Amino acid sequence: MRSSPSSASLLPAVHLPLGRVEYGEALALQRSLHEARVRGEIPDTVLTVEHDPVVTIGRSGSEEELLVSEEALRGEGISFYRVERGGRITYHGPGQLVSYPIVDLRAQGGDVKSYVRTLEQAVIDLLGECGVEAARREGFPGVWVGTRKIASVGVAVKKWVTFHGLALNVRVNPRHFEMIRPCGLSIEVVSLDDLVPERHRLDLLGERLVALLASQFRWQVRVGDPAEARKGAR
């Protein structure tokens, strides 16, 4: 959206690195923070998280994109949610960096398409720093390495404030992706650690992702206390 801001124009923002969290808990926290941001009680806030295995279906998706029964999912220890984000079916799980920015778009030009492209670009830039050339594919949200999908994007916007966000495959279980038709497509997914010899730490990747988002959203970021944020969501 904007780059190279002066220090006088920076907007306050908070990064909450949650670590590994069950999806339902993170969803409740997102919704609580969204309401607080709408009321102007908190600044823009970005969560980074690693989830227990979960399949979610967004507004454009359907159960036809789930290739196994919900009982089969439960048998694999995978939970299942229908949620309000855009997009179709996706999987989150261990070895995946997930980020949920809670952003007031009115301070960012009010353009949802530009916001989504900013999320994609932050992932592309992050992968570039890791030695992987990634790109968008016209008509297909997310980030791709050739014809293989490495990151998904699905957002919700209510009262000009965003929630939900993006997920980058760092080293996910490919068998879990075989239980769904990712984004409603017959595609191959890939993880970062499949493409480079180095194993990456999710927490460090999360910090760098937030820094890249901060440069685009004109944020001055401080790290918040996840425990305090969780108390507010109860």
Which is nearest to 81 in space by CA: 31, 27, 35? 27
Q: List alpha helices for the chain, DSSP H.
A: 23-38, 70-75, 112-129, 174-177, 192-195, 202-217, 226-233
130 catalytic? Reply is: no
**DSSP letter string, 29-49:** HHHHHHHHHHTTSS-EEEEEE
Beta-carbon contacts of 8 under 8 Å, excluding residues fewer than 6 positions away, are: none
- Distance (Å, rounded) from C-alpha 148 to C-alpha 40? 40
Beta-carbon contacts of 158 under 8 Å, excluding residues fewer than 6 positions away, are: 34, 38
Residues in the chain, total: 234
Question: Quick one: which H or E segment has residue 82?
Answer: strand 79-82
Cβ proximity of 26 and 47 under 8 Å: yes
Q: Which of 36, 183, 202, 229 is catalytic?
A: 183
Cβ proximity of 88 and 183 under 8 Å: yes
- Helices 202-217 & 112-129 angle (0-180, nearest 10): 130
Residue 123: what are its φ and ψ, rounded to 5°? -70, -45
Residues designated as active site: 183
